Amino acid sequence: MRYVGWAILIIIAIIVVLLIIAVLRTLLRPKKVSDYVPAPEKERQELYAKKLSAMIRCDTVSNPAQPVQEKFLAFHRQLEELFPLVHKHLEKTQLDGNLLFYWKGKSSLRPVVLMSHQDVVPAEGQWLHEPFSGDIADGKVWGRGASDTKASLMAFFQACEELLEKGYVPEQDVYLASSCTEEFAGPGAGMLVAELRRRGVTPFLVCDEGGGIISEPIGGIKGNYAMVGIFEKGKGDVKFTARSTGGHASTPPKNSPIARLSAFVASVEKRSPFKKKISPEVAAMFSALAPYAPFALRLLFGNLWLFGPLLKVVMPMVSNQAGAMLKTTIAFTMQSGSDACNVLPQEAAVWANMRFIPHQGMNESLEIIKKEAAKFGLETEVLHASDFTAPVDTGGDAWKQVISAIETTFPGLAYSPYVMTGATDCSFWQDICPNCIRFAPVIYGPEQMKGMHGLNENIEINCLPGAVDFYKNLIRLCK
């Protein structure tokens, strides 16, 4: 017993020493502040807000049943009115409503693609401002697509417009790309990629949506931060089916189809079968944000060697977004059963959307969920699946150029790599470009984050000049 007591004391002493080391490391690391806020530029703000408003007034809700629609051609005509120099000097290609503009530079060795989609999701419910009004009120432009993603689309068109007005010729070829099928993961971006492949073009850099300038990216870390997306999780749609011989509801059997489906869903929701892991990319995000956090978070984020296991438990409690960065997720979204209340279904089903993390990619994650479903006598059908994308090299030239454009445009703004838990058109471009960076240079506060795909979508007009300047700087810096 004496030896056991000594062993416990030694373990406690080691823990205390490790904690002291972690605290000292945190205290010796200087506290930083991300203090960027947009400077007021009334004339430019109003000009850009009016252009964005006109773009929002064009209803560009995408519909997979109608891939080519007059509404997108009407939107293209609006773009031509708003950005006449782009349409005069750049070579335009239109592929089933998807747009590609080519701006010939002094060199074709390292082409740059600026990208943002035209289409928007449907607008339902009661809005403060009509969803396609484009109202400019309370320092914001209101309407569906304001933040997702017509603001960044307007910004890079306007950036090119202003550079062309001054007779600027880019050092490298520049392409402006915009699909009209992003919101339903349609084929538009693939068409644009195929067109560039046909031309023999291999982009050096693709800059799309995904990340952005996020206000308080993690609870307690105050200020604005450039969260720069470096890869996307994979995604899949899966159907789980339970079968029986049916029958009358007056004599219900045990383990009916709906009961088995319910038990399966409850089991997966209660105890996820997927492993949590802090990837190198997530660790890099914690490291980048640590100096800006309050002491407790700075202690945790800055000492992953000690607190990594604790963070795997804590992060899902911070937010669903934070938890989704650590593991494959599954969300049950639809269900079906009998057509009548008094009839047992011969077949019932639930559908789910999965997002695959690199340490348990598409194949492994699907195999895990199939085995879980089989325990409840369910059949699994994979309707669609694609794997995670390769991460961007954060030591490479493309990353450095984007970061340099951020630092030049937004003085005092901290930046961090960011793991995309959603999906963008950028995944299509991975086949021809190793540097697909996901960053829209507009500010997304809590209100803007809530409005995306929700009610009362809007964007603050004071961030629009910075967005235009970012694209101008990025074009200039790409050499």
- What length does the chain have? 479
d(CA 294, CA 87): 49
Average pLDDT for 232-260: 90
d(CA 41, CA 352): 46
Residue 446 token pair:
């809590």
Task: Give yes or no on whether 42-232+389-477 and 234-275+329-386 have one common fold.
Answer: no
User: Is the pTM value of this prediction over 0.85?
Assistant: yes
Residue 14 has pLDDT above 70, yes or no: yes
β-bridge pairing 436-444 and 205-215: parallel
Confidence of residue 3 (pLDDT cuts 50, 70, 90): low
> What's the pLDDT at 36?
96
CA distances from 92 to 68, 278, 342 (A): 18, 44, 60
> What's the pLDDT at 196?
98
Confidence of residue 2 (pLDDT cuts 50, 70, 90): low
> What's the pLDDT at 22?
79
Percent of the chain with pLDDT over 70: 98
Cα angle 373, 376, 377; round to 5: 90
Average pLDDT for 11-35: 83
Residue 151 has pLDDT above 70, yes or no: yes
> What's the pLDDT at 89?
98
DSSP state string for 343-376: EE-SEEEEEEEEEEBTTB-HHHHHHHHHHHHHTT
230, amino acid identity: I
d(CA 392, CA 174): 20
- Residue with more model confidence, 320 or 178: 178
> What's the pLDDT at 34?
95
Range 234-275+329-386 has CATH code 3.30.70.360: yes
d(CA 275, CA 68): 42
Average pLDDT for 138-147: 97
CA 224 to chain centre: 17
Largest separation between any pair of C-alpha atoms in the chain: 87
Residue 231 near residue 390, CB atoms below 8 Å: yes
Confidence of residue 112 (pLDDT cuts 50, 70, 90): very high
> What's the pLDDT at 319?
76
Q: Is the dihedral of CA 444, 471, 288, 322 positive or negative?
A: positive
DSSP state string for 413-469: -EEEEEEE-S--THHHHTTT-S-EEEEEEEEE-HHHHHHTTSSS-EEEGGGHHHHHH
pLDDT in tens, 393-447: 999 999 999 999 999 999 999 999 998 888 889 999 998 999 999 999 999 999 9
Average pLDDT for 376-396: 94
Residue 1 has pLDDT above 70, yes or no: no
- Residue with more model confidence, 10 or 232: 232
Residue 418 near residue 322, CB atoms below 8 Å: no
> What's the pLDDT at 116?
97
pLDDT in tens, 335-375: 999 989 998 899 999 999 999 999 999 999 999 999 999 99
> What's the pLDDT at 160?
98
> What's the pLDDT at 68?
63
> What's the pLDDT at 5?
65
Which of 137-141, 214-218, 277-281 is the most confident on average? 137-141
β-bridge pairing 234-243 and 347-356: antiparallel
Average pLDDT for 208-237: 93
Residue 323 has pLDDT above 70, yes or no: yes
pLDDT in tens, 84-99: 999 999 999 999 999 9
d(CA 206, CA 100): 13
Q: Which fold has domain 42-232+389-477?
A: Aminopeptidase (3.40.630)
**Closest C-alpha among 121, 109, 117 to residue 154:** 117
Q: Where are the domains of the chain?
A: 42-232+389-477, 234-275+329-386, 278-326
> What's the pLDDT at 443?
97
pLDDT in tens, 266-275: 999 999 999 9
β-bridge pairing 91-95 and 347-356: unpaired
